[in-house]
A and B are shown apart, each in its own frame.
Chain A
């Protein structure tokens, strides 16, 4: 149980285009989901916290207009990287919190974004 999926696992896009990454909790309801970004050989940096049905809370330094987060249902959150640039290339990992299991936080497998 407590599985989080991400789609796609790997995406390559051209500069200036937008790309959407989906994060789903498969067997539990997640009122809160988190988006992390990981640069090569570095730690996971929290980008934003999204709560179902409300606006996401972004960490300092994260551009909310560039990284659009939508948490429309209890099992789905999306991250859209708008007008992508090569410096947006990174590994994006989502995480979902299961209130039913003592607020455990479960992680998706990650999405490797490459902007050319």
Chain B
């Protein structure tokens, strides 16, 4: 069965600094990897995904993520954080096309002005 680990409950970063939110995964087959963001009392907003191809994936709002097969990681990054990036971030994985998404526990990002 697939699983996702987000080792940090909370990440704090100063506005303008680069940010990284970590994610590692475990699947039996080829991973389909996703990042979502959630604002308070709201649903999930899709940020980016990796299915195949270039290991560096660019997504919405200036976010990007790098797929590293040897380390089974898919860390989310942004070169310069904004206060408005403060939210809850979820990494998710799917083991093939037909299975449902399984989510990590989430990482709360706080960007301080």
Contact = CB atoms under 8 A, between A and B. Distances in A.
Interface of A: 6, 34, 36, 41-44, 46, 49, 91, 93, 95, 102-103, 105-110, 112
B90 A107 contact: no
Contacts of A108: 43
A103 B96 CA distance: 10
B104 interface: yes
A107 B37 CA distance: 12
A49 B98 CA distance: 11
Interface in B66-113: 90, 94, 97-98, 100-106
B14 interface: no
Contacts of B103: 36, 43-44
A110 B41 contact: yes
Nearest to B88: A41
- B43, B90, B101: most-surrounded residue (chain A CB, <10 A): B43
B42 A110 contact: yes
B56 interface: no
7 contacts: A43-B105, A44-B90, A103-B98, A105-B94, A107-B44, A109-B42, A112-B41
Contact of A107 (B41, B43, B51, B105): B43
Given A42-B105, A43-B105, A49 B100 contact: yes
A107 B94 CA distance: 15
A102 B46 CA distance: 15
A108 B106 CA distance: 18
